[in-house]
Amino acid sequence: MNNLEEERPDPDKLLASLKDEEEKSKRGKLRIFFGMCAGVGKTYTMLETAQIERKKGSDIVIGYVETHDRKETSDLVKGFELIPRKTYLYKSAQIQEMDLDAIIARKPQIVLVDELAHTNAPGSRHAKRYQDVLELLENGIHVYTTVNVQHLESRSETVAQITGIVVRETLPDEIFENADEVEVIDITPEELLQRLAEGKVYTADRSKEAIANFFRKGNITALREMALRIVADRVDKQLHDYMQQKRIKGPWKSGVRLLVAITYTSQSTKLLRWSKSLSDLMGGTLQAIYVETSHDLSNKEREMLDINLTLAKQLGVETRIVTNYDLVKAIVGFARAENITHIIIGKPRVLNLLTWFRMGNFVNRLIRYSGDIDVYIWGSEIQQKDKYKERLSLPS
């Protein structure tokens, strides 16, 4: 059997996968209606979708929906059972929140919960609404909810840089990443600005202020790109997970996924930067792999490897370290598992007689076994002269 053939599935991993599926089947499903900012129609679409499900016979209640006094949105609330909100007293003010216990006691099939990143009033069982939602899911209740891109923790700082406004209410990215469904609600910046001007998002006075500050066209365009890219990355990850679960050998070239093989040399520093630029240019994703072999690293080589691994992290490149004496087996095996479409390797800076033949053997095997995966060989900008190459008149 060829050492590059797909390995038999691990029985322990299969058993663990079955247990995970069993646990998931008991939990409620989380469906997120996701958008670039307020006013794109997330709540409207959530209610519209729920109305369709209600007419099919699904038991749906409203736990918390904010209509913002928009007539079209308010009309879609009709026909649903509304779970009365719970009132909390804070500094002589009355604050109404979703009644978590009442919903659990009612135990509907689906509950509608707007504004997932909302901070609850002091005295509530949970500090954040997403924690309420997690408890609903644990009780087997499906949840429809809404989220804006600025409420994801990993994006809040970038959004603040773009808009100049610091977002206080955020939620962990893992809540979004682990959602069963994410539906992006997308409209053009022109459409959103028109809606604002027509008073369909805020009152006339507030709309003017919003357009002059947060809702500038440049801001909206940047937030829209961010939201669409997040959803695209999510779809890409779902495909990757599906292929691994079904043990499907890649690549499925539904997107551009690059893998760069790095080493303990200074050349890999340049190779990493070049690969990152290439992935950005191609609109793809980039991963890096370092293969530990029988070679014992010197202190200088170890230091250089640490520099390269740190650089990869700074560039946002996910890096995997694997141990294998066969470089080709390690790289191709990982590439197939990760549905990689392009493998990038570097050409040695010094091509003496020994490295010339080693490189040729390595490249030939890599190309042979990589199948449909494209292989890029990046040439070093500086190559030192070699006496063996000069004697044999080898081409540069």
Residues 241-268: tens digit of each pLDDT = 555 565 555 555 556 889 999 999 888 9
Contact 375/343 with Cβ under 8 angstroms?
Answer: yes
Strands 142-148, 30-35: pairing kind: parallel
User: What value does the mean pLDDT take over residues 311-324?
Assistant: 90
- Does residue 396 register a pLDDT over 60? no
Q: Give the integer Cα–Cα distance in Å for 111 and 114.
A: 10
Give the model's pLDDT for residue 52.
Answer: 95
User: What value does the mean pLDDT take over residues 272-288?
Assistant: 88
pLDDT, averaged across the chain: 82
Give the model's pLDDT for residue 3.
Answer: 44
Q: Which one has a higher pLDDT value, 240 or 289?
A: 289
- CATH fold of the domain at 257-392: Rossmann fold (3.40.50)
User: What value does the mean pLDDT take over residues 186-192?
Assistant: 89
Say which range, 13-22, 60-69, 192-201, 342-351, has the weakest mean pLDDT.
Answer: 13-22
Give the model's pLDDT for residue 5.
Answer: 44
- Where, residue-wise, is CATH 3.40.50.300 in the chain? 13-240
- Does residue 231 register a pLDDT over 90? no
Residue 280: band (very low, low, confident or very high) from pLDDT cuts 50, 70, 90? confident
| Best CA proximity match to 328, nearest among 253, 244, 258, 261 | 261
State both tokens at 41: 């129609």
Give the model's pLDDT for residue 242.
Answer: 53
Give the model's pLDDT for residue 306.
Answer: 93
Q: What residues contact 391, with CB distance under 8 A and at least 6 apart?
A: none
- Where, residue-wise, is CATH 3.40.50.620 in the chain? 257-392
Give the model's pLDDT for residue 19.
Answer: 61
Q: Which one has a higher pLDDT value, 323 or 142?
A: 142
User: What value does the mean pLDDT take over residues 30-46?
Assistant: 93
pTM of the model: 0.60
User: What value does the mean pLDDT take over residues 294-321?
Assistant: 91
User: What value does the mean pLDDT take over residues 188-205?
Assistant: 79
Q: Give the integer Cα–Cα distance in Å for 17 and 23.
A: 10
Q: Give the integer Cα–Cα distance in Å for 360 and 338.
A: 26
Give the model's pLDDT for residue 367.
Answer: 82
Q: Give the integer Cα–Cα distance in Å for 235 and 261.
A: 25
3-class DSSP assignment, residue 185: coil
Architecture of domain 13-240: 3-Layer(aba) Sandwich (3.40)
Give the model's pLDDT for residue 141.
Answer: 97
The per-residue pLDDT for range 334-366, each reduced to its tens digit, is 888 888 889 998 876 545 544 544 555 777 788
Q: Which one has a higher pLDDT value, 85 or 20?
A: 85
